[in-house]
Amino acid sequence: MTVERAVRLMGGAMVLLSVALAHFFSLYWLWLTVFVGLNLLQSAFTNWCPAMSIFRAMGLKDAGGKTN
For the chain, what percent of residues have pLDDT higher than 90? 84
Vertex 63 angle, CA 54 and 19, to 5°: 55
Q: Determine, yes or no, domain membership for 67.
A: no
Q: Determine, yes or no, domain membership for 62.
A: no
Is the pTM higher than 0.85? no
Q: Determine, yes or no, domain membership for 15.
A: yes
Q: Determine, yes or no, domain membership for 12.
A: yes
Q: Which structural domain range is residue 36 located in?
A: 3-57
For the stretch 7-12, contacts whose Cβ atoms lie closer than 8 Å and that sit 24 or more positions apart, written own/partner, are 7/43, 7/49, 7/51, 7/52, 7/55, 10/51, 11/36, 11/39, 11/40
Quick one: pLDDT at residue 23? 98
Mean pLDDT of 46-62: 93
Look at the chain and report how many structural domains it folds into: 1
Q: Determine, yes or no, domain membership for 51.
A: yes
Quick one: pLDDT at residue 42? 94
What pLDDT band is residue 67 in, cutting at 50, 70 and 90? low
